[in-house]
Every structure is written in structure tokens, then in C-alpha cells.
């Protein structure tokens, strides 16, 4: 159900540079997009190649654009990628209306894509970002070329016990209580707990990556809107789970037209591995990648495997588009 600010399992040979106070992986840059009532921080990798198809990466609950750095590096020669910090997360300030619903996050993604004129994009989403990306693909198919979801937060009838504390953040007053009860917990202890919850094998995280995550945890915890963003976004996920009819996430999954890649981790403690088959049936013609050793953030644990699976999807979708074009030329479309 959640994805938090996490260390990557790989690090560059040199310490990650700092731009202002934003920690960047080697080759990354950041920029800010300002729209009415909305400001978004974006992380991207300038490419020496021109004409690469655009891609957008959307993180999960408590996470940031940094969660996609490893995968973006793997795909640097394949897509022109950028990862955004959702409103209230990473380096993006809170939304002016304090609306953290799944629909509001989806609206922020759509507004950015419309303003930038980058669509259709290869859209990636993890956890909360997976629910957001599903909604975007369903309501604005013109903006999505392919859809890749890593442990998407889609409704489950039986939530895993390990995911209950995250869900409880949606209950009024619980976040404040949790904050008081854990006031003495250090940023290092919090980061270690989050890493244990989200990674299939926390020992794969490098010391450099863990140190960077602790630094980011300290920064995030000092923000006056930290708990508000977490609480309202958690409530947004729970609310989205209860929606029925055409606004239900499973119904919207069935409406997605874009070719989809679904990635699930066998050690995921937040989104159940057993949901993989249901998701594969909901997204028509989708591909399913199950990684038995991965946790909730497979794109951070196994970026090279996820990248290879996406490139296979891209080749297949491009070939399918070519077949459609030929069918149309032959009068068979």
C-alpha cells in the first residue's frame, strides 16, 4: 500500500552531487514546473540521443522521484524519462487545496503532461503511483503509450497484516498519535524500519544508499506538512479502494487500452503477491513479471530486470503498432 523514501541498492562510484539540497544520482538534473495552484519538482536525465520516446515515473506513498533513479539510469538510452515528486512529497510543496486523493494526484499528472505536451508517454507507477497511473491511463488514454506498474496499490479484500499500520494512517488522529509515540525514534531507526518493510532483502542496500536515505528522512520529518501529506494520501488510497462503479480502480484497470507490464514481488509486505493474477486478468493483454525475491520496490531492487521487461514490452508494442499500420494499408484494419 505504500512506498517510502528509500535507499537504492546501487550507488555511483562518486558521492551523489547536491544541487541546492536536492540529492541527485550521477547524470541527473532537476527542474520545477509551476502551474496555477500546483508546483512540481521533476528529476530527469538529459540524453545525448534525440527522438527518444517520452516517459514519466510516478512514485508511491512517502516516496519521491528519487525512487526511480536506478531504473531511469537503466533506460537512459531507451526513453526520455522524467520522474516527478507528487504534491507534498519529495521537493514538491503541498497542493494549494490540500487535496491528496488519488484523483487529485492523477489530476496533477495530467495537468503536467498537458502543459508539457509530452504525451503520449510511457507511464510508470509504483504503489500509490500505480493507482494514480491506472486512473490516468483510464481517463486519458491519449496521454499513455504504455503502462508499467510496480506493486500497484489496487483494492484488496484481505490486506496483509504488515500493511495495516500504513492503512491506519488514514484514520483521523492516528498520525498525530503515531508521531507522539515515535518522537524519540531516530531518522536512522525509521529508515531501517522502512527498508525492512519495503525491500525483499534489505542487506542489498549499500551503506552509501542507506546514509542518503537517512539524510532524506531527517529532511522530510522536519517539514511542517509531512504528516498531513502522509495522512491525507493514505486516506486517499482507502477512499479509492471503496469507490465502486466506473470510478473503481479495478473497473478503470479494465478500461486501460495501453499495453501494460505488471511487476510484483514475492516478498512484498504491502501489496500482496497473490494480487498479480487478478491484475493480469484486469489489464487486457498485459504482461506479468513476478520476482520471487523482490519486495515492494522492485524497480529499486532489480532495476536491470524491470528495464529488460519494459524493453520487451516496448518492442512488442512497436511491432503491434506496425502490424496495425500494415493491416490498415492492406484494407484489413
* Grid cell of 268 as nine digits: 512484498
Task: For each of the domains in the chain, give its residue range(s) and CATH number, in order of start.
Answer: 18-329 (3.40.50.1820)
Which has the closest alpha carbon to 212: 19, 3, 22, 13? Answer: 22
| DSSP labels, 76-106 | TTT-EEEEEEPTTSTTPPPPTT---SHHHHH
What CA–CA distance (Å, rounded) separates 97 from 130? Answer: 23
Q: Which helix (H) or strand (E) holds 38?
A: strand 38-44
HSE, side-chain direction, 13 A CA sphere, residue 234: 24
Grid look-up 498537458 returns: 114
Assess contact for 124 and 133: CB atoms under 8 A.
Answer: yes
> Measured at the alpha carbon of residue 311, what is the angle toward residues 309 and 314, in degrees to the nearest 5?
115
Q: What pLDDT does residue 244 have?
A: 75
Element counts in the chain: helices (H) and strands (E): 12, 10
Assess contact for 333 and 98: CB atoms under 8 A.
Answer: no
Cross-strand partners of 144: 121
What CA–CA distance (Å, rounded) separates 94 from 97? Answer: 8
Assess contact for 227 and 325: CB atoms under 8 A.
Answer: no
* 3-state SS class at 121: strand
pLDDT per residue, tens digit, the chain (333 aa), is 444 467 765 433 333 444 446 788 888 999 999 999 999 999 999 876 788 999 999 999 989 999 999 999 999 999 999 999 999 999 999 999 999 999 999 999 999 999 999 889 999 999 999 999 999 999 999 999 999 999 999 988 655 554 445 544 444 544 454 455 566 788 899 899 899 999 999 998 999 989 989 999 999 989 999 988 988 998 888 888 887 777 899 999 999 999 999 999 999 999 999 899 999 999 998 999 999 999 999 999 999 999 999 999 999 988 776 554 433 333 333
Cross-strand partners of 39: 34
Q: Which helix (H) or strand (E) holds 125?
A: strand 121-126
Return the number of other C-beta atoms located less than 10 Å from residue 239's C-beta: 13
* Grid cell of 57 as nine digits: 515515473
Which has the closest alpha carbon to 129: 271, 293, 277? Answer: 271
What CA–CA distance (Å, rounded) separates 108 from 93? Answer: 13
- Burial letters for 118-130: b for 16+ Cβ neighbours within 10 Å, e otherwise? bbbbbbbbbbbbb
Amino acid at each position: 500500500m505504500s512506498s517510502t523514501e528509500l535507499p537504492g541498492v546501487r550507488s555511483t562510484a562518486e558521492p551523489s552531487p547536491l544541487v541546492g539540497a536536492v540529492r541527485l544520482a550521477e547524470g541527473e538534473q532537476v527542474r520545477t514546473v509551476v502551474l496555477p495552484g500546483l508546483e512540481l519538482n521533476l528529476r530527469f536525465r538529459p540524453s545525448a540521443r534525440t527522438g527518444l520516446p517520452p516517459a514519466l515515473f510516478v512514485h508511491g506513498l512517502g516516496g519521491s522521484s528519487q525512487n526511480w533513479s536506478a531504473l531511469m539510469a537503466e533506460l537512459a538510452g531507451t526513453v526520455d524519462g522524467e520522474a516527478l515528486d507528487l504534491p507534498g512529497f519529495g521537493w514538491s510543496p503541498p497542493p494549494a487545496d490540500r487535496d491528496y486523493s488519488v484523483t487529485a494526484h492523477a489530476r496533477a499528472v495530467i495537468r503536467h503532461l498537458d502543459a508539457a505536451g509530452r504525451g503520449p508517454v510511457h507511464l510508470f507507477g509504483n504503489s500509490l503511483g500505480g493507482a494514480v497511473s491506472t486512473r490516468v491511463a483510464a481517463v486519458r488514454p491519449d496521454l499513455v503509450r504504455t503502462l508499467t506498474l510496480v506493486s500497484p496499490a489496487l483494492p484488496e479484500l484481505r490486506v496483509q497484516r504488515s500493511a495495516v499500520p500504513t492503512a491506519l494512517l488514514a484514520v483521523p488522529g492516528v498520525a498525530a498519535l503515531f508521531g507522539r509515540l515515535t518522537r524519540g525514534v531516530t531518522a536512522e531507526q525509521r529508515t531501517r524500519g522502512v527498508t525492512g518493510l519495503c525491500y525483499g532483502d534489505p542487506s542489498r542496500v549499500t551503506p552509501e544508499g542507506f546514509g542518503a536515505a537517512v539524510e532524506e528522512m531527517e529532511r522530510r520529518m522536519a517539514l511542517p506538512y509531512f504528516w498531513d501529506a502522509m495522512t491525507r494520501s493514505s486516506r486517499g488510497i482507502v477512499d479509492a479502494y471503496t469507490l465502486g462503479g466506473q470510478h473503481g480502480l479495478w473497473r478503470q484497470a479494465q478500461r486501460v487500452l495501453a499495453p501494460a507490464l505488471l511487476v510484483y514481488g514475492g516478498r512484498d509486505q504491502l501489496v500482496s503477491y497473490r494480487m498479480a493474477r487478478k491484475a493480469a486478468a484486469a489489464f487486457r493483454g498485459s504482461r506479468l513479471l513476478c520476482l520471487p525475491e523482490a519486495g515492494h520496490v522492485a524497480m529499486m531492487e532489480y532495476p536491470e530486470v524491470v528495464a529488460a521487461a519494459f524493453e520487451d514490452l516496448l518492442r512488442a508494442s512497436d511491432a503491434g503498432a506496425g502490424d496495425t499500420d500494415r493491416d490498415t494499408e492492406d484494407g484489413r484494419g
